[in-house]
A and B are shown apart, each in its own frame.
Chain A
Amino acid sequence: MTDWSDVLSLHDLDLLLEEARGGGTRQRILSLGFRLTGLPAVERARARLFARLGGRWVHAYERAQRRYGRGVVAVRDRVCQGCFITLPTCAAAGRDSLTVCESCGRILFWS
């Protein structure tokens, strides 16, 4: 996997872990008949993925997650879905790359 897809996967993994650890959602998931026995394995997979990331993304991801709860946000119609600022045209990223929002510091995924 490339750096950018690792960052996206890490973000999705954190969403999964949020559902599995959160008191209310965890109980709801278990009540549906799903099992969550693989939580330690997924936590290990997250640690491995995190260790594989390049230093720049690790720093940006951790900082944004600590501050806002989410490290990466999507860009829709040139608008950062974290701080809702309209991004300048020069901020556009290619298909396989990520950028950082100059306003809020979250990693941007150009969807």
Chain B
Amino acid sequence: MSILVGPALHLAHLIRDLKSCRRDSVIGELARQAQGLGVTREPGVLRATLLMRERLGSTAVGHGFAAPNARSLVVTRSVMLLGRSRLGVDWGAEDGALVQVVVLVISPAEMSAPCHVAAVARMVAATRAVRVRQRLLESDNPGEVAQLLAVGRE
């Protein structure tokens, strides 16, 4: 499955209930999923890069939403993976809310920094609306999820 969400960005996978309940494990789970989708051959390196991004500053933006993201040499194409956690994950959000929706945005190293940040910004903008956040938590339809996230397209 691969659904176009924005310019050169595809929703590659929807994980309805993340197995992990800790931030670092969730990132590892998403990196392994990316490997399963053929987006990376080195999930360990991708995981290390994403964890380093979290060390730079939490990617939780409040209201139960987080957007871990990175550009990496081990990523072959830009994709987005969405994972949901029923129980919520402590992501170090400023509002203290547990994260229930995690949108991983990964891009190849060749992508410029402004392009990558713009892709992340689209995702964050899309999730500002309460209605969208609610549907992202409930919807089991990857097509609808992709459409909801495309709302933030610039």
* CB <8 Å contact, A42 and B52: yes
Known: A5-B45, A15-B113. A111 touches B76 (CB 8 A): yes
* CB <8 Å contact, A9 and B45: yes
Tell whether B130 is near chain A: CB-to-CB under 8 Å.
Answer: no
Rounded to whole angstroms, the CA-CA distance of A25 and B112 in the bound complex is 10
Known: A9-B48, A74-B109, A81-B110. A16 touches B117 (CB 8 A): no
Shortest Cβ distance from B57 into chain A, in angstroms?
3
Within 8 A of A (CB), among B96-154: 108-110, 113-114, 116-118, 120-121, 124
Task: Output the nearest chain B residue to A110 by Cβ-Cβ distance.
Answer: B41
* CB <8 Å contact, B117 and A36: no
Residues of chain B with a CB closer than 8 A to A70's CB: 109
Shortest Cβ distance from A73 into chain B, in angstroms?
8
Residues of chain A with a CB closer than 8 A to B41's CB: 111
Residues of chain B with a CB closer than 8 A to A38's CB: 55-57
Rounded to whole angstroms, the CA-CA distance of A45 and B61 in the bound complex is 24
Tell whether B73 is near chain A: CB-to-CB under 8 Å.
Answer: yes
Tell whether A3 is near chain B: CB-to-CB under 8 Å.
Answer: no
Tell whether A85 is near chain B: CB-to-CB under 8 Å.
Answer: no
Rounded to whole angstroms, the CA-CA distance of A42 and B113 in the bound complex is 18
Rounded to whole angstroms, the CA-CA distance of A25 and B52 in the bound complex is 17
- Which range contains the number of B residues in contact with the other chain? 20 to 34
- Which range contains the number of A residues in contact with the other chain? 35 or more
Residues of chain B with a CB closer than 8 A to A8's CB: 42, 45, 72-74
Shortest Cβ distance from A42 into chain B, in angstroms?
5
Residues of chain B with a CB closer than 8 A to A32's CB: 61, 120-121, 124
Shortest Cβ distance from B72 into chain A, in angstroms?
5
A-B pairs with beta carbons under 8 Å apart, 5 shown: A12-B74, A16-B71, A35-B94, A111-B41, A111-B73
Shortest Cβ distance from A53 into chain B, in angstroms?
15
Rounded to whole angstroms, the CA-CA distance of A74 and B75 in the bound complex is 10
For the complex of A and B, list the 9 residue pairs with the smallest distance between their C-beta atoms, beginning with the closest. Answer: A35-B57, A12-B49, A33-B61, A38-B56, A36-B57, A25-B113, A19-B113, A15-B71, A38-B55
